[in-house]
Amino acid sequence: MANHKSALKRIRSNNKKRLLNRFQHKTARNAIKKLREISNKKEAKKVFPSVISLIDKLAKKNIIHANKAANLKSKLATHIASL
């Protein structure tokens, strides 16, 4: 266990950040799954910008890697184009 006050604070703050990151990542994954399940092209195009926004926010905060974000956006765009 940590001995210093600052180390204890660091443990608390890291735990808060970890939980927030997990929540945001899971929310984005669920949004991606819902977008992939949509079979109507118009509806998919309507939802697409909000999902892209979520992915970009994750990449900006380094929750996911920038290249992973680019791959996800590309695959979603090709999925919508193929509908």
Range of the domain at 28: 5-82
pLDDT at 34: 97
CATH label of the domain that carries residue 68: 1.20.58.110
Q: What is the pTM of this model?
A: 0.86
Are 64 and 25 in contact by the 8 Å Cβ rule? The answer is yes
Angle between helices 41-60 and 5-37 (to 10 degrees): 160
- The mean pLDDT value for 37-51 works out to 95
In the structure, what pLDDT confidence band is assigned to residue 7 with cuts at 50, 70 and 90?
A: very high
Number of domains into which the chain is organized: 1
| pLDDT tens digits for range 54-68 | 999 999 999 999 999
**Which of 71, 33, 78 lies closest to 51, judged by CA?**
33
Are 32 and 51 in contact by the 8 Å Cβ rule? The answer is yes
Residue 33 amino acid letter: K
Helix and strand counts by DSSP (H, E) for the chain: 3, 0
